[in-house]
Amino acid sequence: MKPADPMAPAEDAEDAPTILNGLLGFQLRRAHTLFALHWQHGFRDQPVRITPVQGGMLLVIDSRPGLSQVELARVMDVEGPTMVQAVDRLEANGLVQRIRRVEDRRAYSLQLTEAGDAALGAVKAFVPHRETELLCDLSEDEREVLLSLLKRVVRRAHVVADGMVTGPDAAAVRTKASKGSLK
């Protein structure tokens, strides 16, 4: 028996119970899973497999020379320890190097290596193709509206999540959220 193609939609994907098809979170999860799967297939033959998050990290590091790990964590919207692990993987794969900052020896600036530049080239070549292929059913205006709406959803989700924070930092987090300074 031939194995199922993981890129093919499930036969009953559209037959999911109406209660699921009407849930935005369910549809966002499905879209995320399929975008990630498409990415995985796009990079399966690369010497170093790059995840979507790592691809995003390479794009940000390239666009902001001398960026620190802390700044990268903020831009990527992840916790510091998670970012350290992610940078560790990029460094272990020879894509990024940490350079100790002269003004603060506890901090590091991030820089792409030659291999990192090559991986970045693959990401830059892949992303427009992926976006075009996966979003071909949307007009340019619809894509802009979708992106704008998703940004608003993420902003609000941060406010809600930060409202669940308790303890000594809760007031500061809520103040930051109420000023709209959370991404």
Question: Cβ distance 48 to 32 under 8 Å?
Answer: no
- Main-chain phi, psi angles of 112, to 5 degrees: -75, 145
Model pLDDT, residue 20: 83
Model pLDDT, residue 163: 76
Q: What is the DSSP string of 102-138?
A: SS-TT-EEEEE-HHHHHHHHHHHHHHHHHHHHHTTTS
Model pLDDT, residue 6: 47
Question: Cβ distance 54 to 39 under 8 Å?
Answer: no
Question: Cβ distance 112 to 72 under 8 Å?
Answer: no
Whole-number Å distance between alpha carbons of 153 and 10: 27
Q: Which parts of the chain have pLDDT scores under 50?
A: 1, 6-7, 11, 174, 180-183
Contacts of 73 (CB under 8 A, 6+ apart): 79, 80, 82, 83
Whole-number Å distance between alpha carbons of 4 and 59: 33
Look up the pTM and report it: 0.75
Average pLDDT over all residues of the chain:
83
Q: Tell me: the pLDDT tens digits for 69-91?
A: 889 999 999 888 889 899 999 99
Model pLDDT, residue 10: 52
